[in-house]
Amino acid sequence: MLSDGKKNVFARLNDDQRQARRDAIIDAAEAIFAEKPFNKVNMRDIARLAGISPALIYRYFPNQQHLFIEAFLRGASDLVPALDGCIGTAEPGLIEKVARIFITYLTEHEQYFKMMTHFMLEGSINEDLQERLNAIERSVLDQFDRMFMKMGARKDVRGLSHAFFAALNGILITYRRHPGRTVDEVREHMELVARVIARIFENEVQSEAMRK
C-alpha cells in the first residue's frame, strides 16, 4: 500500500502531466489559428498537431470556443505587464510609447489579434467566457487610464481610454495587411499613424488641463 507521501508525489506528477498536455493543446491551437481563419480550424487539426486524439481534447476543453478563449487569455495576459512597465517608467512621449507596445505586440502575435477581433465581431459567446474576455479588456483599459491620469487627465478618463483602444485597433485592422507593402513598410506606416493619434490624445489632455 502506498504511503501518503508517495500518493502526494503521484498526485503532483499527474497534475504536472495534465498541465503539460493542456499547454500542448493550447500551443497547437495557437499555431493553427495563426495560419487559418477561426471557421476553418477544427479539433482534428489541433489534435493532430498536439499528438493526441480529438476525444482527449474534450477532457480539457468542452468545445472549440473555450479552447480559443483560453489560448487568447494566456497570450493576451502578457500585454498588460508590458504596458504596466512602460507606464511606470516612461515620461516624454508616453502615449506614443504605449501605442507602439500595443501595436507591436499584436503585430508580432498575429494569432491573438485574430482571436480578439473574431470574438469582438462574433458576438455569440457564452456569458462566462464573455466576462473573462471583458476582464482582459478592462485590464488593458486600466493601464490606459493610468497613462492618461499620469499625464494630468481627470475628466472622463475612461472615455479617453476607450477611444484610444478603438483607435489602436483601427490601425491594426486597416493597415496590417496593406497591399503592395512589405512587412517592414507596413510596420513603419502603422507607427507613423500611431504617432499622429498619440499627438491628438496628448493635445486633448493638455487642452483639458488648460481649461481647469
* Model confidence at 145: pLDDT above 90: yes
Instruction: Give the CATH number for residue 152.
Output: 1.10.357
Q: For residue 50, give its domain range.
A: 4-61
* Cβ-contact 198, 99 below 8 angstroms: yes
Reported as a pLDDT band with limits 50, 70 and 90, residue 209 is: low
Domain co-membership, 183 together with 85: yes
* Model confidence at 98: pLDDT above 90: yes
Domain co-membership, 108 together with 176: yes
The candidate with the shortest Cα–Cα distance to 169, out of 123, 106, 81, 98, is 106
**Residue burial 2-25, b: 16+ Cβ < 10 Å; e: rest:** eeeeeeeeeeeeeeeeeeebbebb
Domain co-membership, 35 together with 112: no
Cell of 137: 479588456
pLDDT of residue 212: 58
Domain co-membership, 187 together with 207: yes
pTM attached to this predicted model: 0.81
Point out the domain boundary residue: 28, 61, 94.
Answer: 61
Residue 121, Cβ neighbours under 10 Å: how many? 8
* Cβ-contact 79, 143 below 8 angstroms: no
pLDDT in tens, 1-24: 545 554 454 445 477 788 888 899
Report the C-alpha gap between 10 and 19 in whole angstroms: 14
Q: Name the most confidently modeled range: 11-15, 124-128, 138-142.
A: 138-142
Q: Name the most confidently modeled range: 17-21, 43-47, 195-199.
A: 195-199
The pLDDT of 104-108, averaged and rounded, is 90
Does the residue 66 lie in any domain? Answer: no
pLDDT in tens, 47-66: 999 888 888 899 899 888 88
pLDDT in tens, 62-79: 888 888 888 888 887 789
